[in-house]
């Protein structure tokens, strides 16, 4: 099958992301990568849980002093919603609706930027108001490494999706780029999966004490 | 992960069916998203509302997170579809190693 072949709505395969051998291999390989990412994030969670609230003296801020419910809630809603909008994008991809797919991806990216902005504000707030920095305590190092790694994944995901959108803007959908969009959306969902554990284990459990 | 190419003599009839199937699947996705938001609200409420003991809150919000992630993996990331055996193997091996790491760090690190 010619991967750059032009398709009509009727000839477009039901699962375009897996219609070619290239697509199938990308899909499988990407999940192997996600298995590795699971180990990476689990190790960071383990480090954080072991070093939580381990500070050098009584003046240093602890988890329950730092975290606030409203900010975490808004960030969570932004990221969860961006997961749904990327599902909408893939729905339109399967229906061969390129423009709608791009539109939903733009919304996804905008929500992602909102999340990232909040995280930058949050870190800045901790550093200036609480002197909670990467080097101030074992707690600080573990916290910024875990949450920062997740933030880095969000930033990478944004660059990835934007590159795909720009690169394929004039080309439309074909079996060459459908798997690329699909794999990027999987990555975006995985970022959301990690965040679910971050907001539960780091923020909510941190506020409980 | 079968190659689901259309074999229909009249692709337009097939197209109609596929569109309907996709729309139905999208409806399930929106439903699972609603549930995920609901679980998130519950978890935040458990922490936000005063009066619950932390022995109650912690296991409950962890359980809510696990349920929510199952929705995310099986619906949004399509693991409920056929042909995801190898993928489940990758993910669950990663998870097994990861959970052991968490257990080990929690039990042997003290400062």
Please, are residues A186 and A14 in contact by the beta-carbon 8 Å criterion? no
Give the ipTM of the model, two decimals please. 0.89
Q: Where are the domains of chain A?
A: 16-208
Q: Where are the domains of chain B?
A: 2-80, 83-111
How many other β-carbons are positioned within 10 Å of the β-carbon of residue A17? Answer: 25
Residues B25, A15: C-beta atoms closer than 8 Å: no
Q: Which CATH number fits domain A16-208: 1.10.1740.10, 1.10.3720.10, 1.20.120.80, 3.40.50.11540?
A: 1.20.120.80
A vs B, Cβ pairs < 8 A, gives 150
Start-to-end CA distance of chain A, whole Å, equals 58
Provide the CB-side half-sphere exposure for B73 (13 A, CA).
Answer: 20
d(CA A37, CA A110): 24
Provide the CB-side half-sphere exposure for A86 (13 A, CA).
Answer: 32
What pLDDT score was predicted for residue B8?
Answer: 53
Q: What does pTM read for this prediction? A: 0.92
For range B64-74, the mean pLDDT: 93
Binned at pLDDT 50, 70 and 90, residue B9 comes out as low
How many other β-carbons are positioned within 10 Å of the β-carbon of residue B46? Answer: 17
For range B42-48, the mean pLDDT: 94
What pLDDT score was predicted for residue A82?
Answer: 97
- Both tokens of A150, joined, read 């997740």
Backbone φ and ψ for A189, nearest 5 degrees, come out as -65, -40
Residues A38, B91: C-beta atoms closer than 8 Å: yes
What pLDDT score was predicted for residue A199?
Answer: 96
Spell out which residues of chain A touch residue B104, defining contact as CB-CB under 8 Å: 46
For range A33-38, the mean pLDDT: 96
Confidence check: pLDDT of B106 > 50: yes
How many other β-carbons are positioned within 10 Å of the β-carbon of residue A165? Answer: 18
């Amino acid at each position: 099958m010619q991967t750059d072949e032009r398709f009509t709505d009727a000839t477009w395969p039901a699962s375009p992301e897996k219609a070619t051998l290239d697509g199938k291999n990308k899909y499988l390989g990407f999940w192997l990568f996600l298995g590795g990412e699971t180990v990476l994030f689990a190790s960071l969670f383990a480090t954080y849980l072991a070093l939580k609230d381990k500070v050098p003296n009584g003046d240093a801020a602890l988890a329950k002093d730092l975290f606030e419910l409203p900010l975490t809630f808004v960030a969570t809603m932004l990221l969860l919603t961006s997961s749904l909008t990327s599902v909408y994008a893939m729905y339109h991809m399967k229906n061969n609706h390129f423009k709608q797919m791009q539109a939903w991806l733009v919304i996804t990216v905008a929500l992602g930027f909102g999340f990232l902005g909040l995280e930058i504000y949050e870190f800045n707030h901790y550093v200036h108001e609480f002197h909670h920095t990467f080097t101030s305590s074992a707690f600080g190092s573990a916290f910024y490494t875990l949450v920062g790694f997740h933030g880095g994944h969000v930033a990478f995901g944004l660059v990835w999706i934007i590159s795909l959108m720009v690169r394929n803007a004039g080309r439309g959908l074909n079996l060459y780029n459908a798997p690329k969009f699909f794999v990027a959306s999987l990555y975006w969902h995985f970022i959301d999966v990690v965040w679910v554990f971050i907001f539960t284990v780091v923020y909510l459990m941190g506020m409980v004490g | 992960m079968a190659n689901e190419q259309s074999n229909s003599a009249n692709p337009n009839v097939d197209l109609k069916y596929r569109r309907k199937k996709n729309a139905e699947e999208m409806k399930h996705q929106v439903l699972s998203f609603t549930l995920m938001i609901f679980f998130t609200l519950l978890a935040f409420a458990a922490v936000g509302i005063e009066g619950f003991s932390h022995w109650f809150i912690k296991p409950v919000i962890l359980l809510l997170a696990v349920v929510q992630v199952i929705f995310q993996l099986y619906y949004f990331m399509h693991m409920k579809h056929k042909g995801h055996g190898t993928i489940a193997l990758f993910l669950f091996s990663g998870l097994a190693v990861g959970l052991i790491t968490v257990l080990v760090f929690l039990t042997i690190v003290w400062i």
